[in-house]
Amino acid sequence: MGVDWVPAAVRDGADPRELASLAAEHARLVRLLGLTSRPRPAGTDEDAAARRFRDVDRRLRELLLVDGRPFRVMVVGRNPRFPPEWRDAAWTTLPPREAGEAYGRWRGWYEDVRAGRVRHYLRRLRAWDMARDLAEAQRELADAAHATEGRANAWARKPRFLRAREDVLALPPVPSVPPPGPAPASAEEDRPQPGQDERWEAVVHHAELLGAAQRAFNRSVPSGLRRGWPPWDGDTGAEDPWLEDFFDWMGAVVRTGRGLYLWA
């Protein structure tokens, strides 16, 4: 089950402060239940959070007229073109004014990205995202390699496999990459930071090492032990037809004075 935005008008007489308060609590509970791009926080009382969510969701819906074609929140909430704090903040209900502001901010950013006007920030963002993806892929590959220890199968005795497993377990740690920092307020404020090119090159080099080790390991083990490559979205400056379809959809919503209800 995915999480969607649905067009929503505010009912006549609804208290804007109550709407804002319920939308904030609704978003907090969605995060607590692990329905966003982040995992559920450790120690969450899922039953209590779900009961609270149902109550808040009902009260929020009472203030809105929800109707229209939905759109997946992940078009922004998991899109590598956007700053991480924008992705995290996307998983919420947006009243009409906030929806209009978000639409302008997201669309303007995408246009800057497509035009290459924030390339320094994007390089830092891409390096940070790639480093996290590589770390997860390397952990999974190392777990698969450890799972083969003690196997007596014929393939597990072959020199090719033994070399491949050794190479996986001998991989160096993924380079440490700090978060990209705040997104520039404008394209004119996009500036390079010390070490950003060196960190990018180190991540790319590690991706080559990990990719080679993974390919060799996958060629030497049964299909159930093979591991896939991180699902990167390619060039963050490339055209994104799904995002452009979203902008067409959201533009129609905000032009009619409506907002977006988070349907989870």
Element containing residue 259 per DSSP (H, E): strand 259-263
Mean pLDDT value across the chain: 94
In this predicted structure, the answer to whether residue 79 has a pLDDT above a threshold of 60 is: yes
For tokens 């009619």, the residue is 256
Using one digit for the tens of pLDDT, what is the confidence trace for 109-146? 999 999 999 999 999 999 999 999 999 999 999 999 99
Domain boundaries, the chain: 4-115+246-263, 119-225
pLDDT for position 234: 57
In this predicted structure, the answer to whether residue 233 has a pLDDT above a threshold of 60 is: no
Average pLDDT for 13-20: 97
Using one digit for the tens of pLDDT, what is the confidence trace for 138-182? 999 999 999 999 898 999 999 999 999 999 999 999 999 999 999
**How far, in Å, CA of 254 to CA of 256, rounded?**
5
User: What 3-state class would DSSP assign to 261?
Assistant: strand
**How far, in Å, CA of 76 to CA of 234, rounded?**
16
Beta bridge partners of 259: 8
In this predicted structure, the answer to whether residue 232 has a pLDDT above a threshold of 80 is: no
At 175, the amino acid letter reads: P
Give the CB-side neighbour count of residue 96, counting CA atoms within 13 A.
17
Using one digit for the tens of pLDDT, what is the confidence trace for 192-226? 999 999 999 999 999 999 999 999 999 999 999 99
CB 171 within 8 A of CB 138: yes
- CB under 8 Å to 108, separation ≥6 — which residues? none
